[in-house]
Amino acid sequence: MRRLFLVALIAAITGCTLPTSNPPTDSSDSRAEQTAEVADSVATDTPFPILVRNEPVTEQDPDEAGTPEDLWERVRAGFSLPDIEHPQIKQQLNWYASHPEYMQRVVQRARPYLYYIVETLEQHDLPMEIALLPIVESAFQPFAYSHGRASGIWQFIPATGRLYGLKQDWWYDGRRDIYASTRAAAKFLKRMNDYYDGDWMHALASYNSGLGNVNRAIRRNKARNRSTDFFALSLPRETQAYVPKLLALKKLIADPQAYGIEIDTIANRPYFTRVELERQIDLAKAAEMANMELDELYRLNPGFNRWATAPDGPHYLLLPVEQAEPFKSALAELPAEQMISWQRHRIRQGETLSGIASRYNTSIRSLKRINQLRGDLLRAGQSLTIPVASQQAENYRLSQAQRTQRKQNRPRKGNKITHVVQPGDTFWGLARRHGVSVRALAGWNAMAPGDPLKPGQSLVIWSRSDEQLSTLNSGQLAAPPTRSMTRRIGYRVRKGDSLARISQKFRVSIGQLRKWNNLPRGKYLQPGQRLTLYVDVMQTSS
């Protein structure tokens, strides 16, 4: 059974990839908080409003005798991992204890999620120390995205997320869904612990770095007749610190006063409840119906990438318990066709599904499904029914596009340019060309270095290509990279022009010209026709 389990998982699971190697040295932030923010924005760090609840809305009355009012007491009562003394644990504990402001921020972020996490861990009979794991993974930032493509408070990588049923598409990423990802994390951790016959130290190490790394380390020690205890294993540096961080947090939460830390209480009652939907709904309309801020709705439902829930589900929202009943009442009175706003679009010559989908901030798949289209070909004069947002794009501040835009617009060192991705472009090539690191370039665009680049995609680059760069290994000065300055320009077609002639003049491909201007094959250019081009003005011929 163990062998079958290993074969099924070893190819997909590489573990959580958040760098956790050393205690942070920055007095204002932790390493988890710094590196989990690749696709996050300043707005996501705003604390949740603390709602006053007079009566708990739960099947299990938290006012029953013996039930603590403070959720942290319930967490402490569920601690079951061994209380280990080790220099690495002490090192991590000293850092947490010396940064009370960081712990305050983490507790504020944890406030809306912690009760549900505790309930889920109890249902799966897991140690309550696991409730602290999102501090190590993501600092409880719901939109956290690591340089290793791990996402959400539990930092699932894409493959592991799919393996545990976390759907990922244009509309929705289940790795960020608080409800779905918490359940997946509980199943994953329980399975890891079963695989290692109850050794939680090995199970936690595997959650971070993958089964392969831990199993190889165990085999090496066995071959040398050495201990296979976690602290005796030769593991990646980040994993060596990962488990000690969790055990340090256990000590801190178990007795915060002993370390001069004050941990704010969290009510031992649900913050949110799950409300079922029958179909897609505009998130701005949902927030209005629930009488809550749209930003708060996004933070409770960070799995939704766009301005609406996913057309194909999941069909539920997490809402504060006080807002659930008013929302249900408003939903019952709302006609189904008004859950989303609609617009008719008359197709013009040369338009494509991808261009129309991009213009209206929807997906090609949705356009095909709604309009019962089997292929990608469109006819001029044909009309499409298109779902559209009820508010301006900038009002959906925590949608993926708006978070990315804020990330791209944040001032950096260097000369800001906009580069339109060309076929063959890579992060490595662009970073080398502009004198920046691959990680920085990806981070400026809310991406990870392993994310694919798509032709036509716009990247913001804070170029430092004028600076002399040291070769990484030799220490010798490298030649300055070629200057690049990509700009959007308009071009009026002249008599005798062709796509080939224009592509040569501006050093772009014919395919790019077609894509940028929705030009179908076989369509001739007409004198006076206006074209849009994205060109490198430093290299364009005269």
CATH code assigned at 432: 3.10.350.10
Same domain flag for 415 and 371: no
For residues 92 and 163, membership in a common domain is answered with: yes
**What is the CB neighbour count within 10 angstroms for residue 437?**
12
Number of domains comprising the chain: 5
If we measure between CA atoms, which residue out of 168, 184, 8, 23 comes closest to residue 88?
Answer: 23
pLDDT at position 540 is: 44
Do 348 and 386 lie in a common domain? yes
* Exposed e or buried b per residue across 315-328, where buried means at least 16 C-beta atoms within 10 angstroms of its C-beta: eebbbbbbbbeebe
pLDDT score recorded for residue 475: 38
Residue the block writes with tokens 């992060």:
427
How many Cβ atoms from other residues are within 10 Å of residue 151's Cβ? 30
Residues 128, 194, single domain; the answer is: yes
With 0-12 CB in 10 A as exposed, 13-18 as middle and 19+ as buried, what is 207? buried
For residue 406, what are the contacts with CB-CB under 8 A and spacing of at least 6?
41, 42, 43
| Cβ atoms of residues 39 and 145 within 8 Å | yes
Same domain, 146 and 186: yes
Same domain, 192 and 290: no
User: Is 13 within a domain?
Assistant: no
458 shares a domain with 513: no
Instruction: For residue 452, give its domain range.
Output: 410-478
Residue 105 lies in a domain: yes
Length of the chain: 542
How far is 118 from 181, CA to CA, in rounded Å?
14
Catalytic residue, from 137, 238, 322, 351: name it.
137
What confidence score (pLDDT) does residue 6 get? 52
Low-confidence spans in the chain with pLDDT less than 70: 1-65, 466-487, 522, 536-542
The three-point CA angle 450-454-457 to 5° equals 110
Kindly state whether residues 468 and 503 are assigned to the same domain.
no
Same domain, 381 and 460: no
Q: Of 259, 283, 309, which one is at a domain's C-terminal end?
A: 259
Q: What are phi and psi of 460, to 5 degrees?
A: -95, 130
Look at residues 259, 290, 323 and tell me which one is the last residue of a structural domain. 259
309 and 417 share a domain?
no
Q: What is the pLDDT of residues 231-256, one digit of tens each?
A: 999 999 999 999 999 999 999 999 99
Threshold 0.85, pTM exceeds: no
- d(CA 328, CA 333) in angstroms, rounded, equals 9
Separation of CA 117 from chain center: 19
pLDDT digits (tens, 9 = 90+) for 51-85: 433 333 344 454 455 788 999 999 999 999 999 99
The DSSP secondary-structure symbol of 166 reads: -
Residue 308 falls inside a structural domain: yes
DSSP letters, 356-413, are HHHHTT--HHHHHHHHT--SS---TT-EEEEEE-SS-GGG-TTSHHHHHHHHHHS--S
* pLDDT of amino acid 50: 38
**Helical residues (DSSP H) of 139-210, grouped into ranges:** 158-163, 178-195, 200-209
Per the annotation, the verdict on 137 as an active-site residue is yes
49 within some domain: no
**For residue 177, what pLDDT is reported?**
97
**Is 35 within a domain?**
no
What pLDDT sits at residue 27?
33
- Tell me whether residue 403 is in a domain: no
Confidence at residue 536, expressed as pLDDT on a 0 to 100 scale: 62
User: Does 290 lie in the same domain as 255?
Assistant: no
CA gap 3, 166 in Å, rounded: 24
Q: What is the pLDDT of residue 53?
A: 37
Co-location of 137 and 246 in the same domain: yes
Q: Is residue 4 in a domain? A: no
Report pLDDT for 283: 97
Alpha carbon 476 to chain centroid, angstroms: 38
The reply to whether 401 falls in a domain is no
Domain end point (choices 457, 478, 499): 478
